[in-house]
Amino acid sequence: MSDRWSSSLASSLRPTLLFGGALAGLSLLPFVPSVVTPLPLSPYFPLSVEVLVLATVLVYGAGTRWERPLRRGVLVGVVLVVGYQVYDAAVYTAFRRHGILYEDLEFMDNLLYFASDVATWAGAAWAGLGLVGALALAEATRRAVWAIQRTAPAAGGRGVLLAVHLVAWPLVLVVGPAQEWGTESLTYQTSNERVRVRTVAAKAWANTQASARLATMLDSLDTMPVNSAYSAYDALRLERRPSVYLLAVESYGTLLERHPDLRDPYRDLMRRMQDTLAADGWHMASARAEAPVQGGRSWLAIASLLTGVQVDRQVLYNRFLERPDRVPHLVRFLKRQGYHTVALQPFTFERPGLPTRNIYDFDVTLYRDDLAYAGPAYGLADAPDQYSLNFAHRTHLAGRAPYFLFFETVDSHALWNYGLPPVLPDWRQFNEAGGAGSEARDALEQAGRPPGALLPDSLTRPRIYDQPQSTRYLRHIAYDLQVIRDYLLDTAPEGSLVLLLGDHQPPLFGTENAEVPLHVLSTDASLVESVRARGFTEGLRPRAERPRVRQEALYSLLVRLLARHDRGPAADTTGLPPVQPQGVAPSLLVQSPTDTSATGDAGRREAGRP
- Domains of the chain, each with CATH number or no CATH: 8-190+201-216 (no CATH), 229-607 (3.40.720.10)
The dihedral through the CA atoms of 362, 363, 369, 374 has a sign that is negative
pLDDT for the residue numbered 570: 66
**Angle, helix 554-567 to helix 298-307, in steps of 10 degrees:** 40
Instruction: Report yes or no: 246 and 305 within 8 Å, Cβ to Cβ.
Output: yes
pLDDT for the residue numbered 122: 66
How many Cα atoms within 13 Å fall on the side-chain side of residue 18? 20
pLDDT for the residue numbered 393: 96
Which pTM was predicted? Answer: 0.82
* 404 beta partners: 244, 341
Widest pairwise Cα distance in the chain: 108
Instruction: Report yes or no: 496 and 242 within 8 Å, Cβ to Cβ.
Output: yes
What's the 3-state SS for 205-268?
HHHHHHHHHHHHHHHHCCCCCCCCHHHHHHHCCCCCCCCEEEEEECCCCCHHHHCCCCHHHHHH
C-alpha distances in Å from residue 566, one per residue of 181, 240, 283, 471: 56, 5, 18, 43
* Cα–Cα distance measured from residue 347 to residue 246, given in angstroms and rounded to the nearest whole number: 17
* Cα–Cα distance measured from residue 297 to residue 551, given in angstroms and rounded to the nearest whole number: 14
* Cα–Cα distance measured from residue 62 to residue 153, given in angstroms and rounded to the nearest whole number: 8
pLDDT for the residue numbered 457: 81
Q: Which regions of the chain are under pLDDT 70? A: 1-12, 108-123, 126, 191-193, 353, 570, 592-610
pLDDT for the residue numbered 118: 55
The vertex-274 CA angle with 269 and 277, nearest 5°, equals 125
DSSP 314-346: HHHHHHHHHSGGGS--HHHHHHHTT-EEEEE-T
SS3 505: coil
Instruction: Report yes or no: 248 and 254 within 8 Å, Cβ to Cβ.
Output: no
pLDDT for the residue numbered 605: 33
pLDDT for the residue numbered 448: 80
* Cα–Cα distance measured from residue 286 to residue 190, given in angstroms and rounded to the nearest whole number: 32
